Amino acid sequence: MTRRLLLSYLGLAVLILVVLEVPFGFIAARHESGSAQAQATRDATEIAIGSAEVLEAGNRAGLQALVEDYFSRTGAEVVVAGAGGRVIASDDPDRDHDIDNHHALLYRALRGGTVSALVQDEGRPTAVAAVPIGSALRPLGAVLISVSVGVYTDRIQDVWTALAGFGLAVLVLTTIVGLALARSLTRPLAVLEATVARFGDGDLSSRVPSGLEPQEMATLAESFNDMAQRLEELISAQTRFVADASHQLRSPLTALRLRLENLEAELDEQTGEALAAAGREVQRLSRLVDGLLVLSRADSTFPELQPVDVAQVITERCEAWSALAAERRIALQDRIADRLVTSALLVPGDLDQILDNLLANALDAAPADTSIRVTLEPGARRDRLALHVTDEGPGMDEEERARAFDRFWQGPGRRGGHSGLGLAIVRQLAQRNGAEVHLQAAPSGGLDVVVILRAATERAASTAKPWAPVG
């Protein structure tokens, strides 16, 4: 914005300079041209007066002396023509004076008129003046003077140079003053922008300092602070409610599940099956409460990213889930690409939860005697890692994959105890870590969940932001 304001000031200054200086320059140039012609006319009139006295006395030699004297003093070319238009005296009798170029001026002077013009003579600007000798009604002849106006041309150039220098000085001064003024206007905006950025990054306590100028900016800052205060209170109240509710529900749900399990052994088969179904619902509620607690923490915090060994986390989580996978006759396989840097920028512990939810969903969907593969390979870019969790279950069509990240959504054919929060938790944790999650059909017909992680390169570590998408 500073650049735009400065350019607007400079554009206005240039417009004013053009409107004022260009007409003034042309007026000055016209004035100098008129001065050159007027000087030539005065000299020609002076010579014409002297020539009339000499011609009336019949002294042709005196006329030539008069012309040569003027030439020696000024260096201007002088031609005196008789009443018939024939040259009777000139500054250099040995030189042929070509008066054809000025025939119209000489003709008008022989008819009694005084004329002048500014012409180009061999590429040089020249003032030409023609004045009648004697009476304007019956001239005895005419005087034609050609004066080089190099001095006047230099004056015109000096005028344009002075105008250009003045314009440049004005532009420099406009730049200095405009830059100071633009910065004074944009400095409060920069403060507001920095505060908004911190607030958007998760620092809900960020506020714009008071005392900003101008008054409109102070009003805007006050409005932002009021909005930020209300948002902080709303988000904090929501987070506290979800966290408190989750904590309060976990203990009674655990106790209820234990009581149901103890009663199951003492009841008959039919009642035991109904009690087992109730136990599964209690288990589902427990998972739902745990998921809500994870989501409430992920929504409200943006901890700093640190390098995490993805391969080590994959190995640990696969070992932790191997017993359940073996119980369901599912092969749990992990594969790390050769010579791959496996360190990624993550919040410690988040990748564990991501893998836990993905493996729980995969085990829930995969039929017996199939396999689940956890693969880590290079991403599409050099600073990216691609983590795949692939099962051989029924998979999802395009519409189901579009809804799979919705909270509490459950696809068809899911086993009991599923909360519908697994992929929602995965996406929320991924966003907090600057990662992306995609669902795609696996070659085996199941589902391939792809998590794109940011590799812990030196450059990525210096610019990492948890809230920035991988892109």
Q: What is the pLDDT of residue 388?
A: 93
8 Å CB contact between 78 and 90? yes
Is 25 contained in some domain?
A: yes
Same domain, 129 and 235: no
Is 324 contained in some domain?
A: yes
Same domain, 9 and 29: yes
**Which one, of 318, 319, 312, lies nearest residue 342 by Cα?**
312
Is 321 contained in some domain?
A: yes
Question: Number of structural domains, the chain?
Answer: 3
Q: How far apart are CA 310 and CA 316, in angstroms?
A: 10
- Find the DSSP H helices in 75-149: 103-110
Which of 301, 322, 353 is the endpoint of a domain?
Answer: 301
Same domain, 252 and 361: no
Q: What is the pLDDT of residue 449?
A: 93
8 Å CB contact between 337 and 466? no
Which of 111, 139, 156 is the endpoint of a domain?
Answer: 156
State the pairing for strand pair 330-336/370-378.
Answer: parallel
Same domain, 37 and 141: yes
Between the CA atoms of 361, 364, 365 and 366, what dihedral angle is there, to the nearest 10 degrees?
110
Same domain, 311 and 252: no
What letter does residue 455 receive in the DSSP assignment? Answer: B
Same domain, 151 and 86: yes
Q: Residue 435 is part of which domain span?
A: 303-471
Same domain, 259 and 229: yes
Same domain, 287 and 312: no
pLDDT digits over 305-347, tens only? Answer: 889 999 999 999 899 889 889 989 999 999 988 888 889 998 8
Q: What is the CATH number of the domain that holds 352?
A: 3.30.565.10
Is 136 contained in some domain?
A: yes
Same domain, 280 and 323: no
Q: How far apart are CA 226 and CA 304, in angstroms?
A: 28
Which of 156, 173, 194 is the endpoint of a domain?
Answer: 156
Q: What is the CATH number of the domain that holds 297?
A: 1.10.287.130
Tell the burial category of 376 from Cβ atoms under 10 Å away from its Cβ (0-12, 13-18, 19+): buried
Is 308 contained in some domain?
A: yes
Is 190 contained in some domain?
A: no
Assess whether the previous peptide bond of 367 is cis (omega < 30° from 0): no
Is the sign of the CA dihedral 308, 311, 313, 314 positive or negative? positive
Same domain, 108 and 48: yes
Is 320 contained in some domain?
A: yes
pTM here? 0.48
439 forms bridges with which residues in the sheet? 449
Q: What is the pLDDT of residue 15?
A: 86
Enter the tokens of residue 142.
């005419």
Q: Residue 394 half-sphere exposure, CB side, CA atoms within 13 Å?
A: 11
Is 222 contained in some domain?
A: yes
Q: How far apart are CA 196 and CA 207, in angstroms?
A: 8
Same domain, 317 and 457: yes
Q: What is the pLDDT of residue 117?
A: 83
Measured at the CA of 217, the angle between CA 216 and CA 218, to 5 degrees, comes to 90
Chain mean position to CA 217: 23
Same domain, 286 and 407: no
- pLDDT beneath 50, residues of the chain: 416-417, 460-462, 467-471
Q: What is the CATH number of the domain that holds 28?
A: 3.30.450.20
Determine the number of helices (DSSP H) and then strands (DSSP E) in the chain: 11, 12
CA distances to 3, 14, 162 from 10, rounded to whole Å, are 10, 6, 20
